[in-house]
Structure 1
Amino acid sequence: MPQPTEITVHQFSRMLEVAFDDGARFQIPFELMRVYSPSAEVMGHGPGQETLQTGKRDVQMLGLEPVGHYAVRPAFSDGHDSGLFTWDYLYRLGRDQAQLWADYEARLAAAGVTRDTPMPAPAAGCTSH
């Protein structure tokens, strides 16, 4: 799998630019990274347990921490910081972003919400999904 040669956080355009040693270069929107975060909070613990993320259009990246030689952990302005983005996963987000956006828009439409709908507050006393 290609390895990153350059990673640049573009705060103004809210994009993570990643260049790989195979010549590929991607600009990945922070919003796409946030709604497809590979964390249990977003992806759940198995198929069908995903939590649809909304209201993330203006999310900022507050930090980007390296994790070993295989991943980065972004800290987002909504407090989310538990997703480990491996090089393979970042490559897939960049390469497949058109399809991922289409899938996301379809899931939003199916749920009757938009990208800008605020995330619902957790139910009082609710500790499970």
Structure 2
Amino acid sequence: MQPTEVALIEDDTILAVTWDDGETSRLDAVTLRQASRAASEIRRQAEGVELILPPAFRMQSVEPIGNYALRLFFSDGHDRGIYPWVYLRELAGHAA
């Protein structure tokens, strides 16, 4: 499963991924930020620290990581999470 197109839409609040099977996933910035697998985020969650995001929260940019994932840059400065294609598909609620 590979994407054929990746785009930030709706004022950079939605990541749209079109897959090679024709499905399109739409993932919002808040969901993606909360789902970050970065070590700092895993620790924050384990310690029960609430993630508080600013009102106009959005993604600033997207960077491909090889041919298996994306790195997302968020308006709160978080840029450590790697989002593999399979994980993005799972977050969107599509079967992998």
TM-score (norm 2): 0.82
Q: CA deviation at 1:59?
A: 1.5
Which structure shows the bigger proportion of residues in helix conformation? Answer: 1
What is the CA–CA distance in structure 2 between the aligned matches of 1:83 and 1:66, rounded to whole Å?
12
Corresponding residue number in structure 1 for 2:51: 53
**Pick aligned residue for 2:89 from 73, 88, 91:** 91
**Count of residue pairs brought into register by the alignment:** 94
Gap change, CA 1:5 and 1:57, over 3 Å in 2: farther
Tell me how far apart the structure 1 counterparts of residues 13 and 60 of structure 2 sit (CA, whole Å): 11
- The one-letter code sitting in structure 2 at the alignment partner of 1:92 is E
Alignment of 1:1-129 (within 5 A): 2-12=1-11, 14-44=13-43, 48=46, 51-55=49-53, 58-95=56-93
Q: Per-residue deviation at 1:52?
A: 3.7
Q: Which has the larger radius of gyration?
A: 1
Change (3 A) 1:57 1:88: farther
Given that residues 29 and 57 in structure 2 are in contact (C-alpha distance below 8 angstroms), is that contact kept between their aligned partners in structure 1?
yes
Of Structure 1 and Structure 2, the greater strand share is in: 2
- Segments of structure 2 that go 5 or more residues without pairing to the other structure are none
* Overall identity of the aligned pairs, in %: 32
* Coordinate RMSD, CA, aligned: 2.3
Task: From the superposition, tell whether residues 49 and 63 of structure 1 become closer, same or farther in structure 2 (CA, over 3 Å).
Answer: same
Are the structure 2 counterparts of residues 50 and 7 from structure 1 closer, same or farther at C-alpha, using a change threshold of 3 Å?
farther
TM-score by length of 1: 0.63
Cα separation, 1, equivalents of 2:48 and 2:92: 21
Cα gap change, 1:56 to 1:29, in 2 (>3 Å): farther
